[in-house]
Structure 1
Amino acid sequence: MAHSCWRPALALVLVLLGTYAEATSSRHMDDFIEAVRRVEASVPGSGPLAVLRRLRGAAGLDDAFVRHFLGNAVSDVPQLDASLSGYLRAAVHHRVTEDAREEGVVLTPDGTTVALAPLLLGIEAGFLSGAAGRVRGLFQLTLARALGSSALLGPDGCWDSVASPRVFTLLDGQSTLTAARVNGGVDGVVLGTEVSAKDRRPLLLSGLLAEYYARRPESTGPDAAPRLVGRRRRENFRGLAAPPALARQVVKAAELRRRLTGRSKMAAEEKKQLVASANEGVKAFVRQYVGE
């Protein structure tokens, strides 16, 4: 009798595991937020900063540049289960493959594609801030490092499915500064600045993301979408990133990368060329992305 009951039970377990694997293979923001909730539940009572560090550790966002600003990712806590860790690494680690597939991006409810790595790094930097609006490394972690490689906004792409997105393919060529990479960086700046004010810090990271990326109808008046919402990223970013300041951050990011790799300090002429290139590149980027 026990043996006859064992097979249906095993079949049910396999079905449930298959269902979970199917859900976590989707690259929709709602699925990522659900994964964040699972991380939050793994250490009850942990705040957003602890959760962000766990996410960074699971995703492997722990190079010398990131550690310079954020410190080491959490490693002395209970390990996440293999399926969740695998999903987080695949969902967060950003790269463009040789066949023009962009990984580390998710589809948001309003139809925008967003890279998760710069988003999460910006939010973590904001939580580490000791003063509202003054966030160490915010622009370097989210946008400046990428802008130093390519100031022109790269290609957008398309998903294989809107209902259950899994593969995002770029429409034209390869570039690490893709539209999704910029969207994630801009959202990281906006949300990192927001949570730098201690009186505006949410209790849960999942709640912050769910509120910011919630789909809301286009409207005006009393029912209009709130200020802090994903589809208003460009207007919110416009007030945070003056081109000269952003250009300085591009230069600082390049100098830091050079120093962290053990290279000698830039000669005066090389620094002058870098500054000029950063100024022109950022102006072009702001015109293209912000529209000014």
Structure 2
Amino acid sequence: MSLRSWNPTMVAQAVLWILLGLLLRLEPGTATLPLLMDSVIQALAELEQKVPATMASHTASAWLLFAQDSGHHDLLHHFLLEGQNLKATKLDPQQLSPELRGLTKDVAQHGIRGRLEYGVVLAPDGSTVAVEPLLAGLEAGLQGNRVVNLPLDSTATPLDAGATFPDTGAVVLDVRATSPRLRDVPPDGASADVGAMPPNIRATDLDVKPTSPCVRPGSPDVPVTSPDVQASSPGAKARSPTTVDSLLVVTLARDLGLAFLQSPQTWSHSGLGTEGCWDQLSAPRTFTLLDSAASPVTTAFLNGALDGALLGDYLSRTPEPRPPLSALLSQYYGAGVGGDSGLRSNFRRQNAAALISAPTLTQQVWGALILLQRLEPAHPQLRGMSQERLFEVATNATKEFTEAFLGCPAIHPRCRWGAAPYRGSPRPLQLPLGFLYVHHTYVPAPPCTDFARCAADMRSMQRFHQDTRGWDDIGYSFVIGSDGYVYEGRGWHWVGAHTLGHNSRGFGVAFVGNYTAELPAKAALHTVQDVLPGCAVRAGLLRPDYALLGHRQLVRTDCPGDALFNLLRTWPRFAANVKPRTARRASRRSKREPPPMIVPATGLQ
């Protein structure tokens, strides 16, 4: 179960579904839609058709997210997002299809029960995404990327646990970006007016400002930081935050902080960012985690949180009329938002690293815990916790998140691409290893640029290695696609079959494609040169003094292709002192050796 569900007053419902009042019991025999992001997009499109915009300044999507129901709300979420005097459009749930009502029940709330993870869907790029933090980010973005003052004054008595917020009636400043670098602000720079406040919280304790501590993806601007986020000399006492960014808090900061309060994560503990497997890829229903000790901050949750933060930031900077959410999500999980191939789910980690600096995230995690402590003083994890301890938790959480998640490549596990079982008994590697051997697959020759093609190529190579070569499994440790993802072969812990005579000394990494005359995609090259080995070194899987070699330096082969090998020779880790062996040309191969032909597979299963 999620951390918030452990305390009845902290049960967090998914933003869109709770606000629409769609958490209904399934009718007997009602079949739900498959747990795909395409199903969520289909649901949003149907809702947008049934709830038209009633004001020219709002799209139907905006009204959907602001609709209210009578259910319980997360105190922190209500404080940051729902305290607005906005007209709500009511929707009769019976107007919706049974399939849609079933889907909302399935994805309404993120949680873990045993090894099963709930509230997640499979996206077209092969990643698994938690819907709850994604929708929270969309709502925060539609309201404006707000920086809210914390009620830290001693006269601002925290609310009792379980208290219900009345409508605050706050008039929120309409923050619109006329360009990625310019925001509309009041002439005097004043904050928005504040109406009625929750009990025991004064009007001066809550302030909405039209600035954000986020760095815009792809923007050359210097990060905009609040006065709280300042570099300090080593040993200097950190300044307690006085503001929080509602977008970062409701998507990532609160849950990240609570996870590390419960059980501090380290490189030796794989609970942070745990992956899992779907029961099937064509119509997924059940998602099982690979680690039974996983924390609620799984890879799926972090994917949803980052997607919510990125899309929320985009919405907050987009002038009205904003695009329908169904169209926005279709673009983001497809070719890219607004034709920008960089702003899409495949590159969420890179974009998030540009959006959120480590000092900013530390302040936001710290501020989220302070706010939660004041809103709910009886919270079992926060009761009696000192500010120094909360700062320590925020610092550790940010460090592990930025290094162990943002600093590592997104790796699709074997089950995601449909790997066949290993034949025989795998031999364990003696870690850490000292080498990284670079290959190209040659066949398949065309680079794979989407999940369906890359997964099919992986299955095709595995069949060739097992059935034609007679090997136990696909030979490579990892395979690099041109879709922004790494595909697990034999992985970090098992001896591969990639570099004859050297398989136990290094990891074999292959680029999908023939790179005799051209180079792989820049993102794929960056993954192999910096991201993958850097992550492995920090995790103790690769020695800090590791060396990088091309396949042809150790085996008589043309691999990894002339163009790629010439580039490898310019990389700092390239071991130039290894004498290259004469490549054996295809024309000189023995006729008894089967040609390296692979018939690409089709379909996902």
TM over 0.5: yes
Structure 2 counterpart of 1:158: 277
Q: Which of 65, 70, 73 is matched with 2:76 structurally?
A: 65
For each residue in 1:154-194, what CA deviation from the matched residue of structure 2 results, as whole angstroms up to 9, or x when unmatched?
Answer: 31100001000011111112321011000100111111111
- One-letter amino acid of the structure 1 residue matched with residue 390 of structure 2: L
Comparing 81-90 with 279-288, greater Cα deviation is found at 81-90
What are the residue-to-residue correspondences of 1:201-240 with 2, within 5 Å?
202-214=322-334, 226-240=341-355
Which residue of structure 2 aligns with residue 195 of structure 1?
315
1:232 Cα deviation from its structure 2 partner: 1.1
CA distance in 2 between counterparts of 1:182 and 1:191 reads: 14
- Pick the structure with more strand per residue: 2
Question: Which residue type is aligned with residue 349 of structure 2?
Answer: R
- Could you tell me how far 1:25 is from its partner in structure 2? 3.2
Q: Secondary structure at the match of 1:150?
A: helix
Please give the per-residue CA displacement for 1:199-221, whole angstroms capped at 9, x wherever unaligned.
386331100011101168xxxxx
So what's the TM-score if we normalise by structure 2? Answer: 0.40
Alignment of 1:105-184 (within 5 A): 105-129=120-144, 130-131=174-175, 132=177, 134=211, 136-151=245-260, 152=265, 153-173=272-292, 174-184=294-304
Q: How big is the shift at 1:274? A: 1.5
Cα displacement (A) at 1:27: 0.4
Structure 2 CA distance for aligned equivalents of residues 250 and 201 of structure 1 = 32
Q: Does 1:51 align with 2:64?
A: yes
**Bigger CA drift: 74-83 or 45-54?**
74-83
2: distance between equivalents of 1:114 and 1:208? 16
Aligned residue for 1:166, secondary structure, equals: coil
User: Aligned AA for 1:80?
Assistant: P
C-alpha spacing 1:249/1:180, structure 2 compared with 1 (3 Å)? same
Worse overlay, 69-78 or 204-213: 69-78
Q: Which of residues 62, 68, 91 is equivalent to 1:78?
A: 91
Q: Is the 8 A contact 2:51 2:89 kept in 1?
A: no
The letter of the residue matching 2:322 is P
Q: Give the Cα separation in 1 of the matches to 2:377 and 2:103.
A: 34
Tell me if the contact between 2:362 and 2:394 (Cα under 8 Å) persists in the aligned partners: yes
Shift, 1:57, TM fit = 5.5
What is the alpha-carbon distance in structure 2 between the residues aligned to residue 138 and residue 195 of structure 1?
A: 11
Percentage identity across paired residues of the two chains: 34
Letter in 2 for 1:50: W
| Equivalent of 1:39 in 35, 40, 47 | 47
Aligned partner of 2:478 in structure 1 is none
Which structure's CA Rg is the greater one? 2
Q: CA offsets per residue over residues 73-131 of structure 1, 9 Å max, x none?
A: 9876132237333421321311111x311111000001000001111111111111133
- Rounded to whole Å, the distance in 1 between the matches of 2:89 and 2:49 is 17
TM-score by length of 1: 0.80
85, 88, 91: which one aligns with 2:104:
88
Q: In the aligned structure 2, how far is the partner of 1:57 from the partner of 1:35? A: 19
Is 1:283 the equivalent of 2:403?
A: no
Per the alignment, residue 15 of structure 1 pairs with none
| AA of the residue aligned to 2:297 | L
For 2:39, give the aligned amino acid.
D
Q: What SS class does the counterpart of residue 158 from structure 1 fall into?
A: strand
**Equivalent residue of 1:106, what SS?**
strand
Structure with more contact order per residue of length (Cα contacts < 8 Å, sep ≥ 6): 1
Q: Confirm or deny: 8 A CA contact 2:335 2:341 kept in the other structure.
A: no
Distance 1:78 1:284, change over 3 A: closer
Q: CA RMSD in A?
A: 3.0
What letter corresponds to residue 397 of structure 2 in structure 1?
G
Number of positions where the alignment pairs a residue of Structure 1 with one of Structure 2? 262
Larger displacement relative to structure 2 (204-213 or 142-151): 142-151
Q: If each structure's helix is expressed as a fraction of its own residues, which one has the higher value? A: 1
Quote how far apart the aligned CAs of 1:257 are.
1.3
The CA deviation at 1:235 is: 1.1
Query: 1:47 Cα shift?
Result: 2.4
Is the partner of 1:198 in helix, strand or coil?
coil
Q: Which amino acid aligns with 1:241?
A: I
Question: 1:117 & 1:74 partners in 2: Cα distance?
Answer: 23
Match of 2:499 in 1: none
Rounded to whole Å, the distance in 2 between the matches of 1:162 and 1:61 is: 34
Structure 2: which 5+ runs fail to align?
Answer: 1-26, 54-58, 145-173, 178-182, 184-210, 213-244, 266-271, 409-605
The offset of 1:52, in angstroms, is 2.3
1: CA distance between counterparts of 2:52 and 2:319? 22
What is the alpha-carbon distance in structure 2 between the residues aligned to residue 230 and residue 187 of structure 1?
7
